[in-house]
Structure 1
Amino acid sequence: MNSESSNSEGLPLRVKDLRVSYGDRVVSHIPSLELAAGQSIGIVGESGSGKSSALMAMLGLSSTTGAQPTGLVTVSGVDMLADTPQARSMLGWDIGLVMQSPQSSLNPTMKLRNLARAALRRHGVSKEDADKRITEAASIVRLDERVLGRYPHEISGGQAQRFVIALAVAQRVRCILADEPTSALDVTVQAEVITLLNRLRHEEGIAMLLISHDLPVVSELTDYVLVMRNGEVVEEGKTPQVFGNPQNEYTKSLLASVPEWQTERPRKNAWTS
């Protein structure tokens, strides 16, 4: 897709001809993706379609899975496929990750405030500034500051997800990559997190890339969507157009697999909020 920005190297996230391979087998191919500030793009598809492999490459973490990425992935102009200190420093600074089950990634021996402080200090933020950022970020995501004094096992899934998002806000990331961020939450908490993510991108200008198989969530959170199958993008376009008038047979079957998704609860589309 083409961004409206004329300065593509200054985009929070830019992808060009990204191919992720295991040996001779290409498991994911993203021809083009440009994510501007405040914009949200979704990547959907069944399990094994290549979504997560693309995500790991965009984070510069393909080597942890033994995959070989080629092409171009830049975050704020920095090559994420290069194994350099600058590329590694982008993760958790210009780009943040929100996962499906955040509690599994939190150190169980540390209270949340100490976890956040350690992450910020690692990027050179002073203790005083780190504490200030953490408190401000908790307020932005409407997380009770008292929760920061608890251990990961003492909080709910919704609180854990808010904390991870608050950490991204405290780190002042330009882009959030979210991998099934609501699938482990109940419907009520899911709606709260969706509202929060939408508010962050509209009010804070944070760009978002959402990886999900949950079409209703994607419909609420994204402006543009890529549909993947067997490692390839089979359809893409503005979310209401793709979901409202799909052209590819696979997209049609994907939407038909959840016929109730438009009526299961009232929805406020991200592109009109």
Structure 2
Amino acid sequence: MDDTSTTLVQVNGLKVHFAGERSLFRDTPPLRAVDGVDLKIQAGETLGLVGESGCGKSTLGRALMRLEEPVSGSIWFDDKNLSDMNGTELRKMRRDMQMIFQDPLSSLDPRMKVRRIIGEGLAIAGVSRAERDAQVEELIVKVGLRTEHLNRYPHEFSGGQRQRIGIARALATRPRFIVADEPVSALDVSIQSQIINLMKDLQREFGLTYLFIAHDLGVVEYISDRVGVMYLGRIVELADADDLYADPRMPYTQALLSAVPGGAEEGRERIILQGDVPSPRNPPSGCAFRTRCWRAEERCSAERPQLREVKPRHWAACHFAD
């Protein structure tokens, strides 16, 4: 992205914890799904967010939409503090912020026809029926479907078509920012590229800003301007996509990239991580990745590395990132 771009979304010290269970015999610690995230998303860019399952990336995306309530920290959208907004204020803001969900079938009401699904946000916003119908018919064509599809139900479509409907629904209120939570992971590989290219085309046409959450690093590389890597609720590396893929500084990122198909041809040795991901209820002291890291030393257990700029526009949370 251009260094003159304006910040559209900013997150400061964000934490989302889920309470543990209490009983007569023991108390379970809280689950630290997001555990102190600082992040800026520039207007017009796509920020990819990757990491293993359970790292907190989907929870972070939902927290930005205030679908999950943070225990601390702040979320700013276009210089407005979402953390302090009440329900009425949030509903107004959500015209500018929308989500595309992972499973298009479960995210679409099976009792509604497509016309009503796409136009629901416009109806809530008080748009007249005639104007609503006109916008919905325009959108269904924009996402590659036909107007006659508007009179069908979600179960009558393929997975790729349902995701196109979900994208049209997200676009209906003309948002500026979209959180796309694993939007292609439930689709066949041949369909994934079609949806990704559609999202890129729509971004150019509507001036959209994306937070694109995925576990497939190949997909993320293709669509993203910058990429953030999450591990146990924290961002451990953040850089321009080309730079991160060419020169990863965090051992965890190096391991993830070594598993991307074609890595051997690029000279990457396959790194097999040992051990399981620690519990976010009881993360390790110091560096959370140290229990699986081949470079860990005594310092790593005693001192938590901070996310720092190790080269221009490239941040990493590792004592050895230099």
Fold shared by both chains (TM-score > 0.5): yes
Query: What band does the TM-score fall into relative to the shorter chain?
Result: 0.7 to 0.9
Structure with more relative contact order (C-alpha pairs < 8 Å, separation 6 or more): 1
User: Which residue, 19, 22, 26 being the options, matches 2:18?
Assistant: 22
The one of 130, 155, 158 equivalent to 2:157 is 155
8 Å Cα contact 1:76-1:94 kept in structure 2: no
In the alignment, which of 195, 213, 216 is matched to residue 215 of structure 2?
Answer: 213
Q: How many Å apart are 1:215 and its aligned residue? A: 0.5
- Gap change, CA 1:118 and 1:202, over 3 Å in 2: closer
Matched, 1:257 2:259: yes
Q: 2:71 aligns to what SS in structure 1?
A: strand
Relative to the length of structure 2, the TM-score reads 0.73
Aligned 8 A contact 1:50 1:231 in 2: yes
Instruction: Tell whether the 8 Å contact from 1:178 to 1:208 is kept in structure 2 after alignment.
Output: yes
Q: Of 56, 60, 82, which aligns to 1:54?
A: 60
Q: 1:223 to 1:260 in 2, by over 3 A?
A: same
In 2, the alpha carbon distance for the partners of 1:97 and 1:211 equals 11
Residue correspondence of structure 1 range 3-42 to structure 2 within 5 A: 4-6=4-6, 8=7, 11=8, 13-23=9-19, 26-29=32-35, 31-42=37-48
Aligned CA distance change for structure 1 residues 38 and 262 (closer, same or farther; 3 Å): farther
Give unmatched runs, 5+ long, in structure 1: 264-273
Structure 2: give runs of 5+ residues left out of the alignment. Answer: 20-29, 266-322
CA distance in 1, matches of 2:80, 2:71: 16
- Superimposed CA distance per residue, residues 180-216 of structure 1 (whole angstroms, 9 cap, x where no aligned partner): 1001111221111010111111222100001110101
CA deviation map 1:222-273 (0-9, x unaligned): 100111111111111001111121111000101112343798xxxxxxxxxx
Which residue identity does 1:79 align to in structure 2?
Answer: N
RMSD: 2.2
Whole-angstrom CA distance in 1 between matches of 2:60 and 2:166 = 21
Query: What pairs with 1:102-141 in structure 2 (closer than 5 Å)?
Result: 102-141=104-143
- Residues 3, 94 of structure 1: CA spacing in aligned structure 2 closer, same or farther, 3 A cutoff? farther
Secondary structure of the 2:228 match is strand
Residues 203-212 or 79-88, more deviating: 79-88
Distance 1:236 1:119, change over 3 A: same
TM superposition score normalised by structure 1? 0.86
Tell me, in whole angstroms, the C-alpha distance in 2 between the residues paired with 1:250 and 1:86.
39
Preserved CA contact (<8 Å) 2:177 2:208: yes
Q: 1:88 to 1:177 in 2, by over 3 A?
A: same
Residue 82 of structure 1 aligns with an amino acid whose one-letter code is D
Shift of 1:26: 3.2
The count of aligned residue pairs is 254
CA contact (8 A) 2:48 2:214 kept: yes
User: Which letter maps to 2:4?
Assistant: E
Q: 1:77 to 1:61 in 2, by over 3 A?
A: same
Could you tell me which residue of structure 2 aligns to residue 183 of structure 1?
A: 185
Question: What CA distance in whole angstroms lies between the structure 2 residues aligned with 1:26 and 1:81?
Answer: 19
Query: Using the alignment, how far apart are the partners of 2:150 and 2:263 within structure 1?
Result: 35
Deviation at 1:28, TM superposition (A): 1.3
Residue equivalent to 1:229: 231
